[in-house]
């Protein structure tokens, strides 16, 4: 009798979830961006919000909740109802923080489900013109000759800038000193002023300064050269086989979100990413549209958590 009751309860829950998905959405969707306005994370959130509203999918609002390496906004979504009405914009720090922070008020893998990977872009290693280096091989030689004397900037602990260099140091056996900043703009100002020597930063952020001769480009972090700067070699072809960092952007929801709602959101966002004006907006930001299934993005997040967890543990990287 108990088994029969459990079966009836499970069937009832399934029926309710399907009915909910058929009517979803019926109210405004909140898109939490755990970063300040201005960067592509914010652009992605605002693009989705605009298109949700314009396409009559649902009214939508963007809620910027920056702070604590993106963990404040992330925690808000982790503790929100899994009803499809609270979404989170995520990037590389989402995966890195799982290991970088000794304690988090949420579980990166268990408390979230992937909706979609929206886009990706490589980082570019750039240096102040005064640094006597023109290639990755020359950088490795100089860093080994002067351990801990070279400096690199990042936009904060756990960011793709930080992890790109930590992975590089791990794979090349070099020691380069980390100087964290609160954002790309102040980091680049100090780089161009000669106060720090180098940075791995998103290609569109640094390319104008490369073209202006204020910094020099050494390599990009992707497996293939960037279409934005095809003359700049990859770190791999420059002598570090296996090195690969793709800066990705995506959308997740609380883990309890019904599967049918996840599928509905995934389909809607895939349509948005395919729009001509949206693809142009991505391209203008130096980001390649990706798309795909929710399952693919969930698996990508798991792989990224494992990858960066190994790097954090091996290098001793910490929140600074």
pLDDT digits (tens, 9 = 90+) for 70-124: 999 999 999 999 999 999 999 999 999 999 998 999 999 999 999 999 999 999 9
At 245, phi and psi to the nearest 5? -130, 120
Provide Rg for the chain, Cα atoms: 21
Class of 2-120+247-315 in CATH: alpha beta
Q: Specify whether domain 122-220 bears CATH 3.40.190.10.
A: yes
CA distance 144 to 150: 10
At 157, phi and psi to the nearest 5? -65, 135
Low-confidence spans in the chain with pLDDT less than 70? 1-21
Closest CA to 65 of 49, 42, 44, 46: 42
Tokens standing for 288?
């390649």
Tokens standing for 208?
């104008």
At 60, phi and psi to the nearest 5? -150, 145
CA distance 98 to 101: 6
* Spatial contact of 253 and 112, defined as CB atoms under 8 Å apart: yes
* Spatial contact of 204 and 285, defined as CB atoms under 8 Å apart: yes
> In residues, how long is the chain?
320
Q: Angle of helix 259-273 relative to helix 294-315, nearest 10 degrees?
A: 90
Topology agreement, domain 2-120+247-315 and domain 122-220: yes
State the first-to-last Cα distance of the chain, in angstroms, to the nearest integer: 58
CA distance 171 to 232: 20
Bridge partners of residue 33, in order along the sequence:
64
Q: Is 91 exposed, middle or buried (0-12, 13-18, 19+ CB in 10 A)?
A: buried
CA distance 18 to 211: 54
Helices vs strands, H then E, count in the chain: 11, 10
Give the E-state strand segments of 86-238 in sequence order.
86-91, 112-127, 151-154, 177-180, 198-202, 216-220
pLDDT digits (tens, 9 = 90+) for 24-51: 999 999 999 999 887 889 999 999 999 9
Question: What are the sequence ranges of the domains in the chain?
Answer: 2-120+247-315, 122-220
Residue 223 preceded by cis peptide, ω within 30: no
* Spatial contact of 245 and 167, defined as CB atoms under 8 Å apart: yes
């Amino acid at each position: 009798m108990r088994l029969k009751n459990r079966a009836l309860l499970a069937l009832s829950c399934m029926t309710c979830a399907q009915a909910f998905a058929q009517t979803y959405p019926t109210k405004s969707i909140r898109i939490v961006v755990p970063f300040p306005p201005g960067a592509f994370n914010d652009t992605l959130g605002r693009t989705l919000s605009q298109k949700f509203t314009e396409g009559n999918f649902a009214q939508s609002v963007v809620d910027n909740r920056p702070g604590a390496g993106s963990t404040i906004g992330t925690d808000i979504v982790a503790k929100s109802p899994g009803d499809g009405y609270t979404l989170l914009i995520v990037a590389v720090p989402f995966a890195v923080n799982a290991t970088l922070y000794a304690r988090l008020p949420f579980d990166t893998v268990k408390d979230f489900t992937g909706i979609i990977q929206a886009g990706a872009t490589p980082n570019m290693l750039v240096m102040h013109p005064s640094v006597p280096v023109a290639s990755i091989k020359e950088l490795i030689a100089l860093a080994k000759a002067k351990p801990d004397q070279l400096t690199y900037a990042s936009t904060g602990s756990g960011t793709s800038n930080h992890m790109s260099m930590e992975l590089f140091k791990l794979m090349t056996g070099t020691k380069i000193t980390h100087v964290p900043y609160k954002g790309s703009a102040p980091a680049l100002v100090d780089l161009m002023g000669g106060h720090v020597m180098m940075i791995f930063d998103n290609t569109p952020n640094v390319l104008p300064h490369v073209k202006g001769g204020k910094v020099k480009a050494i390599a990009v972090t992707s497996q293939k050269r960037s279409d934005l700067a095809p003359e700049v070699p990859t770190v791999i072809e420059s002598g570090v086989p296996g090195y690969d960092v793709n800066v990705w952007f995506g959308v997740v929801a609380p883990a309890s979100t019904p599967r049918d709602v996840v599928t509905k959101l995934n389909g809607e966002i895939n349509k948005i990413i395919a729009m001509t004006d949206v693809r142009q907006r991505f391209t203008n930001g130096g980001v390649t549209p990706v798309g795909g299934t929710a399952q693919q993005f969930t698996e990508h997040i798991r792989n990224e958590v494992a990858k960066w967890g190994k790097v954090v543990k091996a290098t001793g990287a910490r929140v600074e």
